[in-house]
Chain A
């Protein structure tokens, strides 16, 4: 009996074959059209979108990194430039000041020199004028002496006192 029941397990029922054929064919068609199609299509699309946005994000990140690097480089460059300008300015100002001081010193020295020369000249002129004055005075005095016939001693005394009266310079 068991064997015979087992044979019923193995003998396919025609109706079931028939219905399975129909039902599965319908299932395949309907699900293929209205379920699997949209599902698989949507999954593909979503994956593509995700992949694309990942690639985009990556490239954007890359771009941003590059931009940051550029910025950094530019900043560093600008800093370097500013520093060099500052240094140049400092150097220039230093130089300018030194030059200015030198010039002033030179000018002062020149002015001093000039003043000294002026004084010297004035002095020489004064002395010259003085000598000529003294000479003419002496000549006048001599004339007067000659007029009055002074003796030798008196003459000597006169001249000496005159010379003493003269200013030393």
Chain B
């Protein structure tokens, strides 16, 4: 009964839930050790937990296997779809055998009885867990593995939540609530605040007048990443944004939008940089051309690395409990948890902040790249050095410079994640 009032405040609820899980984790693991006394079972592999997998992990509950979908080229050379309800079903059908997938070393997820011989897959296959080691077709080869993974599920869950939240909101606005009247309800107010934030703090400063055209992309990216980040903070959740595949696709979208937004001036700056001596152009053009690709690449890596790192820190802190417990005994393990759990809660709160910051950073950088590409300006004369164009301003802003309105350039302090956090937290 006393939980009911607590449920009303979502953050408090989340934290308490997380704390419960955190506290329950070590207890169950400790109990596990007493029962089985197997050291390997105790190991908490942070990297493995951050990685993707073909199952939903409800430890200490069951693992729920996800369906496997393959495009397979048979031995006769024909393409075919293969669908199985689970990895186990695929192996049991006899069409697939456990083994290394796509050139991955079978040792990668090494069971203790691995022989360490990369070539002798047959011996490894017999023992390896197909869920961890991957599966290969008994005959023919996999052309494309379209199987659902944990991150796929959470990616779709994030998308589904976006649809569930924003489609009714859109209908509400269409009906006139929030159009001619004030927004109604907490959800609409909260989401509207975020939407306005994206428009006022992200789109308008970076794109100027052209912002409206790119709002749908920026909003979709912002909320998709935000929801993906937040879902990873739930118990049994996984962070889809800590997967390079997801971030790469998102960065790819930014790349495509940027190229389509590109004006004549944008391409002109890349392939014929103005105001540059002829010979220097031979150096500048390849650099500018590479820049087209390095920007989204950096986007993908930044999001992936940030989201992975946070979870690795949390898992490592929890792992400390087990490491100390293993080395110095149970009592020390319990003692360590006294320090490790508060630290984990702190990092968890930090993660909550980072979930917002990284969604913000990805979106504002995307907006900046698109805005730079979409900027139009007059051609450079000999005497218009002081007349700064939107493009030049955007370039300067992106490189930490700014102008004071009279065309005078001054340096802004370099923005780091720390200042980003401060900026994000600062009241607008």
Contacts and interface: CB of A to CB of B under 8 A. Distances in A.
Interface string A14-55: 111111110110111011101111111111011001000000
B246 A16 contact: yes
B47 A31 contact: no
Contacts of B156: 19, 23
Contacts of A37: 170, 216
Given A6-B47, A20-B246, A35-B169, A15 B146 contact: yes
A4 B100 CA distance: 12
Given A15-B69, A28-B216, A38-B173, A20 B52 contact: no
> For chain B, which range describes its interface: under 10, 10 to 19, 20 to 34, or 35 or more residues?
35 or more
Contacts of A4: 104-105, 107-108
Contacts of B249: 17, 20-21, 24
B167 A30 contact: yes
Contacts of A41: 173, 179
A7 B51 CA distance: 10
Interface residues of A, number: 41
Q: Is the interface of A mostly helix, strand, loop or mixed?
A: helix
B244 interface: yes
B236 interface: no
A48 to B, nearest CB: 11
A39 B180 contact: no
Contacts of B195: 36, 39-40, 43
Interface string B135-179: 000000000111111011001100100110011011101100011
A167 interface: no
A49 B180 contact: yes
Contacts of A35: 166-167, 169-170
Nearest to A34: B170
Interface in A42-72: 42-43, 45-46, 49
12 contacts: A5-B48, A9-B50, A16-B155, A19-B152, A23-B159, A28-B220, A36-B216, A39-B173, A39-B178, A43-B195, A45-B180, A49-B180
Interface of B: 45, 47-48, 50-52, 69, 102, 104-105, 107-110, 144-149, 151-152, 155-156, 159, 162-163, 166-167, 169-171, 173-174, 178-180, 192, 195-196, 199, 212, 215-217, 219-220, 224, 240, 243-246, 248-250, 252-253, 308
Interface of A: 1-2, 4-21, 23-24, 26-28, 30-32, 34-43, 45-46, 49
Q: 7 shortest A-B CB distances, which residue pairs?
A: A32-B216, A12-B245, A35-B170, A42-B179, A35-B166, A42-B173, A16-B245
Given A20-B155, A20-B249, A39-B166, 10 more contacts: A5-B109, A11-B102, A11-B244, A15-B147, A16-B149, A16-B155, A19-B156, A23-B159, A31-B216, A32-B216
